[in-house]
Structure 1
Amino acid sequence: MGQSTEPEDFGALIRGARCSARLTQAQLGAKCGYSASAISRIEANKLRPEYSAMLRMCEVLAIPPQRMHGFAAPDASAVATVAIRCPSDEEDAVRRRKLLTGALAAGATAIVGGGTASAAAVSGDPTASLEEALFRLPAAEPMALPLLTLQTAAARRAFRAARYRDLGQALPGLLASAEVTREAATGRARQQASGVLARAYVLTAELASKQHSDAAWVAADRALSAARDSGTPVPVGEASRVLAITMRRSGRWSSAVHLLTREAAELDAAEERTAAVRTTLLLTAAYSAATGGDRSMALALLDETEEDVERLPEVPGLFTVEATRAQVDVYRIGALNALGTPDEGVKVVAGLNIDCMPTPERRARAWTDIGRMWHALGDGPQTFAALRRVGLEAPQEVRRPALRALTSDLLYGPARVQGLREFAVRTGALAA
C-alpha cells in the first residue's frame, strides 16, 4: 500500500468525507447545527468552526479524531471565526450579481454559437461561469423532454470533441433547463428528466475536473443525487465515476476505489450496457489505486477489465468513456506512470492503436499519458512529440492546467527541444 495523502486543509477534509458519505451540505449542517450555506463556507475555508463543532463533524463523517491535528487547538475560541476576510452581505450581493450576469450570458449562448464574449472567452477558462451558475442557476423554463435530451447530447458531443469553451458556455443554461424540467415533471417523466439532469451534471464535473476547479465537487454530488432519482443504473455508474475522480484529486484515493468497486459490483455483468459501465468504473478504480501506490490492486483491476473487454462485444455510446481494449491500454499506461514504473508502459504504447479511439478527447488523453511516460523517462523530444499530438487531436486540451504544467516542466528542463518555446507560448504555458 502507498502512503496516504493528507488533505491540505480542513475544508477539503470535510468536503471529501461528506461526499463520500453521500450527505448534502444541508444534511451535514442539520446534524452539526449549521446551515447549508455555513457548511459551504467551511468547506471553502471562509469560516472556521469552533473546535467542538469540528469534532462533531468528524464524528458524523467518521473521520478519525487524530486527523484534526493542526486544524485547531482544544482551547480555541467558542465563537466561529472567519478564516479569511469575508465581504459583507452587500459586497457579496454586488459580486454575485456581476458574476451572475456573465453566467446568464453564457447560458443563453448556443453550444456552437458565437455572439458576445463570455466569461470563458475573456478568461480563457471554460469553467469561468460554472461556479457561480452552480450557486445560482440562470432563469429557465421547462422544456419538452426530447428537446432537453437533444441539448444534452449536443453538450456531450462538445465534450467528446474537446470543444471545452463551447461546453462551458452551454452548461449553465442546460443545467437550469434540466432542473426546472425535472421539478415540473411527475412519475416516469420525472425519472427520465432526472437521468438527463444527471448527465448534464456529469459533463459539468468532467469539465471542472479537467480545469482543476472546485466546481467538480458540487457537480459530481448533484450528478449522483439526480442519477439515483432516475432509478437507472447507467447514470448512477457514470455519476459515481466523476465523484470518485473528484475524491481522488483531493487525495482520498482509497475512498474513490471503495466507491467505484462497490458501484461496479451492483451492476449486471451479463447485460452489455451495464457491463460496459462496470468496466469503465473498474478502470477508474485501477488508476485511483495506482495514484495511492497500491500496485497489486491497480494491476489486478486492470487485468479484470482486460478480461471483460475480451469477452464482451464493444458497446459504443457510453457517455464519456468507452469500454474497449484501447481504453484499457491507456489506463494501464497512466497507472504505470502513477506507480513510478513508466518504463513498463513502453511496451504497452508499442501495441496501442490510438487512431481507433473514437473521440478527440480520448485520443488526446492517450497522448497525454504517453507524454507523461516519456517525460518521466527523461526523453524530451518524445515528450514534445506527444504534446504536439495532443494539440493536433484537441487544440483546447493543451491549454488545460495539467498540460501547461507538463509543457513548463519540459521547457525548463535540462534538454533543449526545438519548437518547444513557440508551442509553450501558443498554449499559454509561457507568456508571449
Structure 2
Amino acid sequence: MSRHRRLGTVIRAARCAQRMTQAQLGQACGYSASAISRVEAGLLRPAEESLPRIAQVLGISLDALDLGRPATLARDVTPDQEDAMLRRQLLVAGMAAAGTSMLPSTATAAAHPDASARIVGALYDPTESAPVSLQQLGLALASARTQFTAARYEDLGAALPGLLGTGEATRNALSGRAREEAHAAVARAWVLATELALKGHSEVAWPAADRALAAAQASGDPVVRGEAARVLAITMRRAGRPGAAVDFLRRTAGSLEQDRSDVAQAVAATLLLTGAYTAACGRRRADALDLMAGAEDAVDRLASADTRPPSPLFTVDATRAQADLYRIGVHTALGTPDEAVPYAARIVPDRLPTAERRARYGTDCARMWHHLGDHRRTVVALRFTEQVAPEEVRRPAVRALTADLLYAPVTVAGVRALAARTGVS
C-alpha cells in the first residue's frame, strides 16, 4: 500500500469516526469534496501545511497523518510489518476520534461478542481475499442475508469479514457493468454490517453505513442506494439527529418515486416508514403521521397493482403488515401507546416473513405494553421474542427493558428466569 493511500485511509477512518461528510471536511480545511475524495483514494496528497489543520479538524494527532517519513519506522521492519503497524495506528486514531465508542461496550459485547470488533477489522484491517465470480459473490451475499433475516447475528458477524473482503477483491478485479454489479453487492454487504452494528448499538454503524452508501452510489442502482440510505438515516437518528435523518429519507424517497418500477416504489415506501419512526423518536407527531400515511398509500398501491416486486426487498419489505408493525413503534415513540394497540392486534406474527421481523413485532409490543404499565403482557411479548429469535433478547436495548422489569416494584412471573437466560442478572 502506497504512503498516499495509507494517508487517505487514515483520513477516511477519522472522518467517519467524527461523522463528517467529505464536503464538511473539505470546507473546514479549504478543499472541495472531490479533492477530499481523491485524498482518501490515495490519488492526491494534501499540502504539508494543510496537515495540521486536517488533524485538528479530525481530532487526531499530527503524528497519525505524518506517514511520509520512513525514519519513523525501525530499520528492520518489513513492508508487511509496516502495513500492519500503520493499520494498528489507524485503528487507534479512529477510535480515539470517536472517544473509543467504536469499541464494544459491556452490554454490546454480551449481545454480540465479536460483532463490533469484526466490523472494525473489516473496515480498517480487511481480510486478504481472492476475487470470485459475480454468481459466487451473489450466493455468499444471499447466505449472509439469510443469517440476518433468521436473526442469527453471531453467524452473520463471523461471515461478514470474509464476505466484505471477497466483495472488495471481486469489485477491484472487474470493470464496466460487472464492476457496478459488484459495487451493489458490496453495498448490500455493508448494509448488513450496519444493521448488525445497529442491533448492538455500536458506533461502528457510522463508518459501515458510510461505506454502504459510497458503494451504492458507485453501483448506479437507485434501489441499492435507497437501501443504504435507510441504514445511514438510522445511524443519524441514533446519534441524536432525527430531523436531518427525516429530511434525508424524504429526499431519497422522492428520488426513488421518479422510478416507476415496483421495486423502487417499494424501497421508497420503506424509507417513508423509517422516516415516520424517526420523526416519532424526535416527537414530531405531525411529520410522523404524515410520513406513515404516505408510506401506507404507497404500500396500498403496490398491493393493488397487477405486478409484484420480483423478489423480497433486501432487509425490510413494503407490506401492510410491515406498515402496521411500524405503527406500533411510531405511536409508542410518540407517547401514545394506546393508539398502537389496535395495530398490534391485527398483525398475525406467524405471517411476518422472517424471524427478524417477528422478533421486531415482539420487542415493539413489549415496549408498547411496558409504556402502558402492563408488565405481564410485556413479559409475554419478550418471551415470544426469545422463542422466535433467541439472540434478539440479548440486544442491549431489550436487555435494558428486561432489567426495568426485574427491578420494578411489582414482580412478574417469569422475569427472573428471563433475566438469567439473557445475562441481565
TM-score band, normalised by the shorter chain? 0.7 to 0.9
Q: Which of 139, 161, 174 is the matching residue for 1:150?
A: 139
Question: Does the Cα contact within 8 Å between 1:269 and 1:278 map onto a contact in 2?
Answer: no
Per-residue CA deviation, residues 371-427 of structure 1 (Å, 9 max, x unaligned), is: 001111111110000000111110111111111111111111121011211111111
Q: Which residue of 2 aligns with 1:115?
A: none
Task: Give yes or no for the alignment of 1:411 onto 2:372.
Answer: no
2:141–2:185: 8 Å Cα contact kept in structure 1?
Answer: yes
The alignment yields a C-alpha RMSD, in angstroms, of: 3.2
Counterpart amino acid of residue 376 in structure 1: H
Match in the other structure for 1:355: 350
Q: Give the deviation of 1:38 after TM superposition.
A: 4.5
Alignment of 1:290-329 (within 5 A): 290-313=280-303, 315=309, 316-329=311-324
Structure 2 equivalent of residue 283 of structure 1: 273
123 and 399 in structure 1: CA distance in 2 versus 1, 3 angstrom threshold = closer
CA change 1:185–1:392 in 2 (3 A) is same
Q: 2:339 aligns with which of 340, 344, 366?
A: 344
- Secondary structure at the aligned position of 2:115 is classed as coil
Match of 1:203, SS state, is helix
Of the three residues 118, 125, 147, the one matched with 1:129 is: 118
Pair 153,13 (structure 1): closer, same or farther in 2 beyond 3 Å: closer
Q: Find the aligned partners of 1:167 and 1:354 in 2 and give their Cα distance.
A: 24
CA 96–216 in structure 1, closer or farther in 2 if over 3 Å, else same: same
Could you tell me which residue of structure 1 aligns to residue 180 of structure 2? 191
Task: Choose the corresponding residue for 2:248, options 259, 266, 273.
Answer: 259
Asked whether the 8 Å contact 2:183–2:215 carries over to 1, the reply is yes
CA distance in 2, matches of 1:163, 1:286: 27
Partner of 2:376: 381
Q: Please, what TM-score do these two structures have when normalized by structure 2? A: 0.77
Q: Give the 5 Å matches for 1:26-175.
A: 26-27=36-37, 33-34=50-51, 38=55, 42=59, 93=85, 96=88, 124-175=113-164
Between Structure 1 and Structure 2, the one with more helix by share is 2
Deviations along 1:83-138, one digit per CA (max 9) or x if unpaired, are xxxxxx99x949949x9xxxxxxxxxxxxxxxxxxxx8997343332212211101
Aligned to 1:64: none
- Report percent identity of matched pairs: 49
Return the offset for 1:40: 9.8
Matches of 2:389 and 2:335, distance apart in 1 = 27
**Could you give the per-residue CA deviations for residues 308-347 of structure 1, whole angstroms, max 9, x where no partner exists?**
1112136441000000011111111101111111111112
CA contact (8 A) 1:220 1:242 kept: yes
- How far is 1:36 from its partner? 12
Residues 1:162 and 1:122: Cα distance change in structure 2 (over 3 Å): closer
What residue identity is the alignment partner of 1:203? L
The residue identity in structure 2 corresponding to 1:179 is: E
The whole-number CA distance in structure 1 between the counterparts of 2:244 and 2:290 is: 18
Residue of structure 1 equivalent to 2:43: none
> Which among 15, 21, 36 is matched to residue 18 of structure 2?
15
Task: Give the Cα–Cα distance (whole angstroms) in 1 for the partners of residues 342 and 291 of structure 2.
Answer: 19
**Partners of 2:111 and 2:395 within 8 A in 1:** no
Distance change >3 Å, CA 35–CA 191, structure 1 → 2: farther
**CA 1:283–1:211 in structure 2 vs 1: closer, same or farther (change >3 Å)?**
same
Q: 1:192 to 1:95 in 2, by over 3 A?
A: closer
In structure 2, the CA distance between the partners of 1:324 and 1:39, relative to structure 1 (3 Å rule), is: farther
What's 2:189 paired with? 200
Residue 70 of structure 1 is matched in structure 2 by: none
- Residues 229 and 301 from structure 1, CA distance in 2 versus in 1: closer, same or farther, beyond 3 angstroms? same
User: Could you list the per-position Cα deviations for residues 30-54 of structure 1 after superposition, in whole angstroms to 9, with x for gaps in the alignment?
Assistant: 6994489958963xxx669xxxxxx
Change in Cα spacing, 1:94 to 1:133, as seen in structure 2 (3 Å) is same
Judge conservation of contact 2:17–2:206 (CA < 8 Å) in 1. Answer: no
Shift of residue 18, structure 1, vs aligned partner: 2.6
Tell me, yes or no, if the aligned pair for 1:26 and 1:35 is still in contact at 8 Å.
no
Residues 394 and 137 (structure 1), Cα distance of their counterparts in 2 relative to 1, 3 Å cut: same
Counterpart CA distance in 2 for 1:242 and 1:25 is 26
State the 1:25 CA deviation. 11
Q: 1:303 to 1:36 in 2, by over 3 A?
A: farther
Helix, strand or coil: the match of 2:340? helix
TM-aligned CA deviation for residue 428 of structure 1: 1.5
Match of 1:400 among 390, 395, 420: 395
The amino acid across from 2:302 in the alignment is: L
Alpha-carbon deviation of 1:210? 0.7
Deviates more, 1:354-363 or 1:17-26: 17-26
1:240 aligned partner: 229
Matched with 1:182 is 171
Contact 2:363 2:381 in 1 (8 A): yes
Does residue 428 of structure 1 match 2:409?
A: no
Which string of whole-angstrom CA distances, capped at 9 and with x for unpartnered residues, describes residues 63-86 of structure 1? xxxxxxxxxxxxxxxxxxxxxxxx
Task: Please tell me whether the aligned partners of residues 326 and 354 of structure 1 are also in contact (alpha carbons under 8 angstroms).
Answer: no
2: distance between equivalents of 1:173 and 1:185? 19
Give the AA of the match of 1:18.
T
Q: C-alpha distance in 1, partners of 2:318/2:353?
A: 11
The gaps in structure 2 that reach 5 residues or longer are 1-13, 26-32, 41-45, 63-80, 92-108
Name the amino acid aligned to 2:21: R
Q: For the Cα contact (< 8 Å) 2:131–2:169, is it kept in 1?
A: yes
